[in-house]
């Protein structure tokens, strides 16, 4: 297992996250892992509760657009099981894609490579938003890697990039800053993070990096794409059309993928999330064998109701 960062920095928040959630058990061993893909890009992730000499993860987590592996920290702590959380391409410590093709069937092969490398059994795969669509594409194409599928607050046809307007405006600002404190101030000015500077600072730390010139930038590619769109709408439209064309070519609407999945499927929706009652009813009509669970939360269920989601994941791990 390649160790590529100092866990004393990256994982120094785990104790506070556990305390915030009211969890008092021992913290799991956690470290960053990284692999090189066939085309030279890097795919990165976080290993919780397992090492080379120990059994591998039983659950794998895939985050949504603009997030990273650490969005799952509290869910992992609450689940108490060996887990792998990936940084999807274009996010966290994983490489950006030159073609900006962040659609499910493009991302799924990279996830499959990670599971081949770091898991030793079929996984319960939990995917939020863009990660949920990616998990469906993975389950359809590589059923040997999947034990169960848990999709969090997304269905095909719901745009995982169509977040609140204030969030789009937030990322459409400058592409770099003098310090992380500036980013925290900006997030608070947009009303993000629930008003808690400590939690916003934690999120900014996980989702930003300090460049060699000392300036701070977002890790995920979507921030750069949003800024480019704001600066040059015609160029952004061309890029989006190219991305949509790739998505259409590869069947990225997701219904075809879900129809091919043979593993049990659970859809988790947030009561204030992106998936409407109509969307959920359409999902049930298309996939009558799937389970549907609603949790009081917004779109980011893993951050707003992590223990409720962790309890659901635990139940699936016991089955």
Q: Which residues are catalytic?
A: 129, 153, 299
Cα torsion at 71, 1, 78, 257 (round to 10°)?
Answer: 60
d(CA 146, CA 122) in angstroms, rounded, equals 5
Helix, strand, or coil (residue 277): helix
Q: Any residues with CB less than 8 A from the CB of 21 and at least 6 apart, and which?
A: 74, 77, 78, 306, 307
Q: What Cα–Cα distance (Å) separates residue 34 from each residue in 68, 71, 169, 212, 237?
A: 14, 18, 32, 21, 33
Q: Which region holds residue 73: left if phi is over 0, alpha if psi is between -120 and 50, else beta?
A: alpha
Read off the tokens for 221: 């590619």
d(CA 146, CA 124) in angstroms, rounded, equals 6
d(CA 57, CA 282) in angstroms, rounded, equals 33
Please say whether the beta carbons of 269 and 133 come within 8 A. no
Q: Any residues with CB less than 8 A from the CB of 318 and at least 6 apart, and which?
A: none
How many residues in total does the chain contain? 319
d(CA 10, CA 3) in angstroms, rounded, equals 12
The pair phi, psi for residue 209, each rounded to 5°, is: -140, 155
The pair phi, psi for residue 95, each rounded to 5°, is: -65, 150
């Amino acid at each position: 297992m390649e160790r590529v960062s100092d866990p004393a920095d990256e994982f120094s928040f785990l104790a506070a996250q556990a305390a915030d959630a009211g969890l008092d058990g021992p913290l799991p061993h956690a470290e960053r892992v990284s692999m090189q893909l066939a085309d030279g890009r890097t795919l990165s992730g976080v290993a919780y509760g397992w090492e080379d000499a120990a059994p591998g993860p039983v659950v794998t987590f895939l985050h949504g657009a603009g997030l990273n592996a650490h969005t799952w920290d509290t869910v992992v702590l609450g689940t108490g099981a060996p887990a792998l959380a990936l940084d999807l391409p274009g996010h966290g410590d994983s490489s950006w894609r030159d073609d900006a093709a962040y659609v499910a069937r493009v991302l799924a092969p990279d996830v499959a490579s990670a599971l081949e490398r770091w898991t030793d059994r079929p996984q319960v795969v939990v995917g939020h938003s863009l990660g949920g669509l990616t998990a469906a594409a993975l389950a359809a194409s590589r059923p040997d890697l999947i034990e169960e599928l848990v999709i969090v607050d997304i269905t095909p046809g719901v745009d995982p990039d169509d977040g609140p307007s204030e969030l789009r405006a937030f990322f459409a600002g400058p592409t770099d800053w003098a310090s992380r404190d500036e980013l925290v101030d900006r997030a608070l000015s947009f009303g993000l993070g629930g008003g808690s500077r400590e939690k916003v600072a934690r999120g900014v730390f996980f989702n930003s990096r300090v460049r060699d010139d000392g300036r701070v930038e977002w890790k995920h590619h979507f921030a750069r794409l949003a800024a480019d769109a704001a600066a040059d709408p015609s160029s952004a439209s061309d890029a989006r059309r190219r991305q949509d064309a790739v998505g259409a070519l590869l069947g990225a609407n997701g219904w075809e993928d879900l129809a091919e999945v043979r593993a049990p499927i659970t859809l988790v929706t947030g009561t204030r999330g992106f998936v409407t009652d109509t969307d959920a009813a359409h999902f049930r009509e298309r996939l009558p064998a799937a389970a549907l669970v609603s949790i009081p939360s917004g779109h980011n269920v893993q951050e707003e109701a992590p223990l409720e989601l962790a309890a659901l994941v635990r139940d699936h791990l016991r089955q």
